[in-house]
Amino acid sequence: MACRTAFFIAIITAVLAAPSARAQQGGEPTGVWLTQAGDARVRVSRCGGGICGVIVGLKDPIDPATGKPQVDDKNPNPALRRRPMIGLPLFTAMRPIAPGKWSGRIYNADDGSHYASSVAVTGTSTLRVEGCVGALCGGETWTRVRR
């Protein structure tokens, strides 16, 4: 299977290695963000009183095993396994919990599951994205590509 975003791996395998940076007062999360590993771009936008995040680009959009665009093949719902990774929603029910910080759920395409997550603006061009699987938590810092 082709390499997925390092973000998904961090959620599953990382133990909180560093404390979260303090969210910037009134920071704006909207725009396109590059994951820490640089293998995916995610567009964050306002939606329904919170924020949404959707994959808009992949470093390796073609699955080398099939020669076709990567798809959500780990999804437990067989009807969703053919949906393309580009356009895949990552954040759901992300609601504001403090200035510059949101909490909700994040989708992990590596196992087709949703996990508790938080997103915090930590600077004008940085976004901290964290997720937890039971007691294991991890995260990474994304860099703004454009607003």
- With cut-offs at 50, 70 and 90, classify the pLDDT of residue 143: very high
- With cut-offs at 50, 70 and 90, classify the pLDDT of residue 147: low
Which helix (H) or strand (E) segment holds residue 143: the answer is strand 136-146
More confident residue, 20 or 32: 32
Task: Please tell me the distance from the alpha carbon of residue 19 to that of residue 33, in angstroms, as a whole number.
Answer: 21
* Amino acid at the residue 21: A
- With cut-offs at 50, 70 and 90, classify the pLDDT of residue 134: confident
> Which letter does DSSP use for residue 20 in this model?
P
Task: Please tell me the distance from the alpha carbon of residue 41 to that of residue 43, in angstroms, as a whole number.
Answer: 7
Buried residues in 110-144 as b, exposed as e (16+ CB within 10 A): beebbbebbbbbbeeebbbbbbbbeeebbbbbbeb
More confident residue, 55 or 3: 55
Query: Which domains, from first to last, does the chain contain?
Result: 6-14+30-146 (2.40.128.520)
Please give the pLDDT value at position 135: 86
Per-residue pLDDT for 18 more than 70?
no
Q: What are the residues facing 143 on neighbouring strands?
A: 34, 126
- 36-76: pLDDT as tens digits: 999 999 999 999 999 999 999 999 999 999 999 999 999 99
Task: Please tell me the distance from the alpha carbon of residue 108 to that of residue 10, in angstroms, as a whole number.
Answer: 10
Could you give the dihedral angle defined by the CA atoms of residues 71, 76, 79 and 80, in that order, rounded to the nearest 10 degrees? -40
Mean pLDDT of 101-113: 92
Task: Please tell me the distance from the alpha carbon of residue 135 to that of residue 121, in angstroms, as a whole number.
Answer: 24
Mean pLDDT of 71-97: 95
